[in-house]
């Protein structure tokens, strides 16, 4: 299927206006396949009913500390209670009442509203409370969900993802050759002594994993020291998310990192001698930001209120989870804290086939990982965009090179809802790409325990292989520096003669429009002195970089919504260089799509409507569409939908999302019903219409094959 997000890159949104009407008029979704946000490039926030919410994270300007400098829960409760004196009104003119729930830090607390409200209502209340002079910020305590794409096919006999790419596996991570550099006779030396925290659904004591489990904690269920995964099955729609079996997501992630190796059974982890610290932060219907940020701090050895300190301090923290939107203050604060403690944070970019990455992958200081297939192509589901660091094996089908759909084979459980026997399973998703990078980071820490988080990221990006020729990511900075190469990363970590570099920007993201942003690069010489320092722009509206040939440069942000990517390159006098990337995002709110009612038309008649949207920042709005029916047309610049001769009879659904060029608003599923004159009352479809639908589906598949052949 022609994937519109691969055409409609944010940099060529104007081009989409001339392409989409023609392309979409010729290509229909595969028969029986529903239009998805993967084709829009929009976050997975389809406009459907969502569970009401009542949790807010409030950061006060004052800390809840007593005169001895100790956290005081009573004072924290008083801070929250005091806000009720200026409570805003909501539906029916009723005042909001806040109740203290728990503390994240002495300044940051979770409070509950007295009633659960819609997202829009709670967002408005958060904005009102944020105006209080005692408050720094207020935001919704969002639920965060594991990034998971059900596997398409199973390959149970081998782990292609760990092999040498020279064996005809362009997407493989080259672990086998990296292990050769580290093995000294101890079968479990690879990653030995390094702890990797997996913040996820917990773990099962799988026979091919349990020997590498150390400690753990559950932040979701009354907070206890057992991180065992009881299952996250959704057995009732009343839970607020789709009915599903248990995913055993955390167990699969943990196996990718450190399944026991060289034991004549099962699979091997990328760092099969490392230890896994399981931290349960996700359960049924995901998890809350407040629990995740507490889990991050705890994993890094930092104190968390009411929880015994963790003595198994993790050097690497893996987050195969996320949600849409810009990086929240709560996430960024936790990331800053754990990085300052010396822990690397690795995050999956998401599985919406979007041209932007969600949080916490878009936070400053994380290593954001997208997914590639066995053939090295960016996976069709994998999010890419400004802030992506590199790609790693995630499995599935490719964007431009379809491939065989091979997944990532790892430890799992056979239970559908509650735990059953140990099993192995192939899955695909960016969730399973991130732990490859986490595992390689563990190998690097084994070699050089004193590496900083910035140095680890720089070494990983500088050692990445270029994206293969003919793939979607070839020559695209949106996909990061390249494909993970474990052997090259380990070799670079071993080479103390090579230069290293770090880069940062100020002020921190998001920056005001029109502001001057400082770019700061730092270089550490290896065996030879640094001779040149150069800044260059990789993505975003073209700007002038002032003092581009120095360590400290600057540029002026444009007046519109944008994301910029810059590269700092430090080169020594022998020509060896080290690159570091910086992403700068402007302050921006996504556009809001006006509700489009369901449409009904008789066979052969004309149907038209107009999609409209508003943008809080006043930015120009265009649209993206997925699943446009055969014969219909849509103008992505103006939002005009037209179907001159609507046929055959049936019900059609497709997705429309607004964008300001830097962010997508919530997508809406639009429904069109075509009826025959005789069926207008009951809505039935004649058998001749069904036959026509079948012929149309076959025609659509033929057209898709032609397009694929021409690409």
Strands 367-372 and 388-393: parallel
CA 547 to chain centre: 34
Strand order in the sheet with 563-572: 530-539, 563-572, 577-585
CB atoms within 10 A of CB 69: 8
User: Which of 39, 141, 200, 485 is labelled catalytic?
Assistant: 200
Q: Does residue 10 surpass a pLDDT of 50?
A: no
- 3-state class of 399 per DSSP? coil
Domains of the chain with bracketed CATH: 4-47+595-710 (2.60.40.10), 53-143 (3.30.70), 150-235+242-494 (3.40.50.200), 500-585 (2.60.40.10)
Task: Tell me how long the chain is.
Answer: 711
Closest CA to 4 of 709, 689, 704, 706: 704
* Tokens matching residue 233: 């099955």
Q: What tens digit of pLDDT does each residue of 292-308 get?
A: 999 999 999 999 999 99
pTM of the model: 0.84
**For residue 648, cis peptide bond before it (omega within 30 degrees of 0):** yes
What whole-number distance in Å separates Cα of residue 19 and Cα of residue 710? 15
CA 676 to chain centre: 44
Closest CA to 20 of 34, 8, 37: 8
User: Which of 343, 431, 477, 580 is labelled catalytic?
Assistant: 431
Q: What is the mean pLDDT of residues 20-43?
A: 36
What whole-number distance in Å separates Cα of residue 543 and Cα of residue 505? 15
- Per the annotation, the verdict on 619 as an active-site residue is no
Q: What tens digit of pLDDT does each residue of 192-242 get?
A: 889 999 999 999 999 999 999 999 999 998 899 999 999 999 998 777 788
**Angstrom distances, CA of residue 324 to CA of 84, 163, 343, 695:** 30, 33, 24, 38
What whole-number distance in Å separates Cα of residue 459 and Cα of residue 184? 23
Radius of gyration of the chain, Cα coordinates, nearest whole angstrom: 26
Angle of CA points 320, 324, 329, to nearest 5°:
85
Q: What is the 3-state secondary structure (H, E, C) of 100-135?
A: EEEECCCCEEEEEEEEEECHHHHHHHHHHHHCCCCE
Q: What tens digit of pLDDT does each residue of 570-625 get?
A: 999 989 999 999 999 999 999 999 999 999 999 999 999 999 999 999 999 999 99
Strands 89-90 and 640-643: unpaired
* Per-residue pLDDT band at 147 (split at 50, 70, 90): low
CA 199 to chain centre: 14
Cβ–Cβ under 8 Å, residues 637 and 710: no
Q: What tens digit of pLDDT does each residue of 526-580 get?
A: 888 999 999 999 999 999 999 999 999 999 999 999 999 999 999 999 899 999 9
User: Which of 79, 147, 206, 249 is labelled catalytic?
Assistant: 249
Q: What tens digit of pLDDT does each residue of 446-463 get?
A: 999 999 999 999 999 999
- 3-state class of 471 per DSSP? coil
- Per the annotation, the verdict on 431 as an active-site residue is yes
């Amino acid at each position: 299927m022609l994937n519109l997000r691969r055409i409609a890159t944010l940099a060529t949104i104007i081009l989409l206006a001339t392409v989409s009407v023609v392309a979409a008029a010729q290509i229909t979704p595969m028969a029986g396949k529903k239009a998805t946000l993967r084709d829009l490039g929009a976050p997975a926030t389809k406009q459907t009913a969502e569970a009401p919410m009542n949790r807010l994270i409030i950061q006060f300007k004052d800390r809840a500390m007593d005169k001895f400098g100790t956290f005081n829960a009573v004072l924290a409760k008083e801070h929250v209670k005091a806000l009720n004196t200026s409570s805003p009104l909501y539906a029916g003119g009723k005042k909001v009442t806040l109740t203290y729930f728990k503390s994240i830090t002495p300044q940051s607390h979770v409070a509950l509203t007295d009633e659960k409200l819609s997202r829009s209502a709670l967002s408005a209340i958060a904005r009102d409370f944020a105006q209080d002079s005692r408050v720094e910020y207020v935001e919704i305590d969002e639920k965060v969900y594991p990034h998971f794409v059900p596997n398409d096919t199973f390959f149970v006999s081998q782990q292609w993802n760990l092999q040498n790419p020279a064996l005809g596996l362009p997407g493989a991570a080259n672990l086998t050759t990296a292990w050769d550099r580290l093995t000294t006779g101890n079968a479990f030396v690879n990653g030995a002594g390094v702890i990797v925290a997996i913040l996820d659904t917990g773990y099962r004591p799988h026979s091919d994993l349990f020997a590498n489990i150390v400690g753990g904690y559950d932040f979701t269920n009354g907070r206890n020291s057992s991180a065992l995964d009881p299952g996250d099955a959704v057995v009732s729609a009343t839970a607020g998310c789709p009915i599903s079996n248990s995913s055993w997501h955390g167990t699969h992630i943990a196996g990718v990192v450190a399944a026991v190796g060289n034991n004549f059974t099962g699979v091997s982890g990328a760092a099969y001698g490392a230890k896994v610290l399981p931290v349960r932060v996700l359960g049924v219907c995901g998890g809350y930001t407040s629990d995740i940020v507490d889990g991050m701090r705890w994993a890094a050895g930092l104190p968390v209120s009411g929880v015994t300190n963790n003595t198994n301090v993790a050097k690497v923290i893996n987050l195969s989870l996320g949600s849409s939107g810009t990086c929240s203050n709560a996430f960024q604060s936790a990331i800053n804290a754990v990085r300052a403690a010396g822990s690397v944070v690795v995050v999956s970019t998401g599985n919406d086939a979007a041209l932007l990455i969600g949080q916490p992958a878009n936070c400053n200081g994380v290593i954001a990982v997208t997914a590639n297939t066995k053939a090295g192509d960016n996976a069709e589901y994998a999010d890419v965009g400004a802030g992506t660091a590199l790609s790693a094996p995630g499995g599935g089908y490719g964007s431009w090179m379809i491939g065989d759909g091979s997944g990532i084979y790892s430890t799992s459980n056979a239970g559908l809802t509650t735990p059953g026997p140990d099993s192995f399973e192939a899955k695909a998703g960016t969730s399973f790409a991130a732990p490859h990078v986490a595992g390689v980071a563990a190998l690097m820490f084994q070699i050089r325990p004193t590496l900083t988080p910035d140095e680890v990221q720089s070494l990983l990006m500088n050692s990445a292989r270029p994206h293969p020729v003919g793939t979607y990511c070839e020559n695209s900075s949106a996909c990061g520096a390249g494909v993970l190469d474990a052997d090259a990363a380990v070799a670079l970590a071993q080479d103390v003669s090579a230069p290293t570099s770090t880069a940062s920007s100020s002020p921190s993201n998001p920056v005001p429009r029109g502001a001057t942003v400082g770019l700061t690069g730092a270089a550490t010489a290896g065996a030879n002195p640094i001779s040149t320092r150069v800044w260059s722009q990789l993505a975003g509206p073209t700007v002038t970089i002032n003092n581009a040939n120095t360590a400290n440069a600057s540029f002026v942000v444009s007046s519109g919504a944008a994301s910029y990517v810059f590269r700092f390159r430090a080169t020594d006098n022998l020509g060896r260089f080290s690159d570091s990337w910086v992403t700068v995002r402007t302050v921006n709110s996504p556009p809001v799509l006006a509700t489009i009612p369901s449409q009904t038309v008789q066979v052969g008649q004309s149907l038209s409507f107009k999609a409209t949207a508003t943008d809080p920042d006043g930015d120009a709005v265009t649209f993206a569409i997925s699943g446009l029916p055969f014969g219909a047309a849509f103008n992505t610049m103006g939002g005009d939908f037209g179907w001159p001769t609507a046929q055959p009879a049936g019900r059609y659904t497709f997705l429309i999302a607004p964008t300001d060029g830097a962010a997508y608003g919530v997508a809406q599923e639009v429904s069109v019903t075509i009826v025959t004159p005789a069926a207008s009352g009951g809505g039935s479809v004649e058998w001749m219409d069904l036959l026509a639908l079948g012929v149309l589906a076959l025609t659509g598949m033929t057209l898709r094959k032609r397009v694929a052949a021409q690409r």
